[in-house]
Structure 1
């Protein structure tokens, strides 16, 4: 007898659709049963007509704890994730302090005790003191993050030599290093040329050329060091072209975000500070190129870069557009926004699972337990009803940011239930039960 049996639904994995009932015991999927086959369970869930998706894995989120909890914290951020069908959040290391040492990572892990509603994996930052790498590896973070522009000097690797040297510190570790493809020389030069503080000046400081050069440099350095990398947030035609031509050089993957697939620089006119983030939004031509790359299978992962700020911070007046705190919430809206891409015919539902569940789980060292509805995997399951519709609304957002740039968007599907390791944590858009999230670490 199973603890839970989900009957009548269609399973969606990255490979496609399959009609199977799902048996769950001790938080794991223990059986996938042919429709009509006899089975019993203490709890039977009738999901006839619905889809079962694996819980989403957001590979790029900022939960803002420690030090920045007026913007978000572990509880509020993972609450938003749960409501959005994200059952595993991979948290970035740019809090206060940045997660640069084993002690800082251990402290951050301890802060989650009893406070996270979904599972959380932590990413550590590569600092100029590479001696910290060994101690951090002992704690098995899901990845490391290496920055090439727009960060404090202690975390800046501005030259190809510096990037290659840092990557060599990871040889033999089989971990993943995320790289944001900026170019500090372009940022510095453009800022010196144009001090107007306008939106155009902000865009010019982080142009497609910087992205493309950052991608090329990251791939060349990874090939030289024989390390595994993940390229963050491509969003320009030139960046896509660089990735397309050079991606075979190294063991590498690439991500983009929903905001970069839907908004253009013209949307700054209406949403302004709420859309300010880095990289800047691009031209309609760039967005079309990015969407074509997504449809062609050139994009491995869709992540959110969930980076909320307190409403007062976004609403304040700043001398320059570049000074506005960068980032926006995204965890609660990841699923509905990618479902819009399905409605538009750009991708299919199995592509959603591939880019938002199975690929991030595999790349970030969680593939034996996350990202699939398969025997032996954690029973992180979304029940999605395509016969109902749902609407994204500012009033429903639980992030401390208090808004979403996707306010008012409607999707022809409704997330009716979210299970985390076999336990229902969300029912009809409401969080139920206590915080049962765990820390997840990289598989050895």
Structure 2
């Protein structure tokens, strides 16, 4: 007898979709049953006519704790994630302080325990003190993050030699290093040439050339050192081309974000601070190149770069556009915006699962527990009803950012239930089980 049985749904994995009833016990999926089979359960959930997806895994989010909790914290951020069908959040290390030592990572894990609505894995930052890597590895973060521009000097790897030397320190470690493909030399030079503080000056300081060069540097450095890398959010045609040409030279994956698949730099004129982030939004031609890459399977992961700020911070007056705090919320809207791409016919439900569940789980060391609906896996499950529509609005957002760049959009499907390890945590956009999340670590 199962603890829970979900009947009547079409189970969607990255490889295929098929009608199956799903039996759950002990927080895991224990059986996939042909419809009509005999099964008993303490709780039966009728999902007839619905799709059953694995919970999403967001590989790039900033929960802002410790030190920046006026922007977000573990509770508010994972509340947003739960409502959006993201059952595992991979948290970036750029809080206050940055997660750069074993002590800081251990403290962060301890602080999060008991305060999470979904599961959270933590990422550590590579600092210029490379002796810290061994201690961090012992705590099994889901990944490390290496920055090449736009960060404090203690975390800046500004050239090819510095990147390669850092990657060599990982040796044959079973981990992943995320690399943001910026170029500090271009950023510095552009800022020195143009001090107007305009949107155009901001765009010129982070051009597609910097992204393409950063992609090439990251992949070639990984090839030379044997490191496993993940290239953070690309969004330009030259960046896509560099990735397409070089990706097979190393053990590398790449991501983009939902906002980069819809908005262009022209949208700064109407949305301004709400859309300001890094990398900057690009031209319509860049967006179309990125969409073609997504449709063609060149993009491994779609992640949000959920980076909320307090409303007053975004609304304040700044001397330069570049000074506006960069980033926007995204955890609560990831599934809906991906389903918008399904509505448009650009991708399928299978693609959503591949890029937002299976691939991030496997790449970040959680692939034996998360990212698919299969026996032995955590019963992190989403019931999506394609017969119902849903809408996105500022008023519904629970992140402390209190807005979404996708305000006013509608989607031809609705997320009705969210399960975390077999326990229902969301029903009809309301939390039903608080504090069920755990800290998860990279599995070797």
TM-score range (shorter-chain normalised) is: over 0.9
Q: What root-mean-square deviation, in Å, do the aligned CA atoms of Structure 1 and Structure 2 show?
A: 0.4
Return 5+ residue gaps in structure 1 as ranges. none
Could you list the structure 1 runs, at least 4 aligned residues long, displaced by more than 4 angstroms after superposition.
none
Distance in 1 (alpha carbons) for counterparts of 2:301 and 2:368: 18
In the alignment, is residue 422 of structure 1 matched against residue 422 of structure 2?
A: yes
1:246 matched residue in structure 2: 246
Kept in 2: contact 1:257–1:304 (CA 8 A): yes
Q: Distance in 2 between matches of 1:292 and 1:388?
A: 28
Deviation, 1:433, is 2.0
Match of 1:210 in 2: 210
Could you say what secondary structure the match of 1:131 adopts? helix
Partner of 2:159 in structure 1?
Answer: 159
Distance in 2 of aligned mates of 1:171 and 1:52: 40
Q: Which residue of 1 aligns with 2:441?
A: 441
Q: 1:312-391 to 2 correspondence within 5 Å?
A: 312-391=312-391
Q: For residues 17 and 363 of structure 1, what CA distance do their matches in structure 2 show?
A: 22
Q: Deviations over 1:108-157 (max 9, x none)?
A: 00111211000000000000000000000000000000000000000000
Correspondence 1:265 to 2:265: yes
Deviations 1:199-238 (A, max 9, x none): 0000000000000000000001000000100000000000
Paired with 1:222 and 1:141, the residues of 2 have a C-alpha distance of 20
- 1:183-198 equivalences under 5 Å are 183-198=183-198
The TM-score normalised by the length of structure 1 is 1.00
1: distance between equivalents of 2:59 and 2:396? 23
Residue in 2 that maps onto 1:147? 147
Are the aligned partners of 1:174 and 1:227 in contact in 2 as well (CA < 8 Å)?
no
> Shift of residue 16 of structure 1?
1.6
2:125 aligned partner = 125
TM-score, normalised on structure 2?
A: 1.00
Q: CA deviation at 1:318?
A: 0.3
CA distance in 2, matches of 1:41, 1:224: 54
Q: How many Å separate the matches in 1 of 2:335 and 2:217?
A: 32
Query: Whole-Å Cα distance in 2 between the matches of residues 111 and 80 of structure 1?
Result: 19
Q: CA deviation at 1:434?
A: 2.4
SS in 2 for 1:185: helix
Structure 2 gap segments, 5+ residues each:
none
Aligned length: 444
Contact 1:336 1:411 in 2 (8 A): yes
CA distance in 2, matches of 1:19, 1:168: 47
Structure 2 match to 1:199 = 199
| Cα distance in 1 for residues equivalent to 2:277 and 2:365 | 28
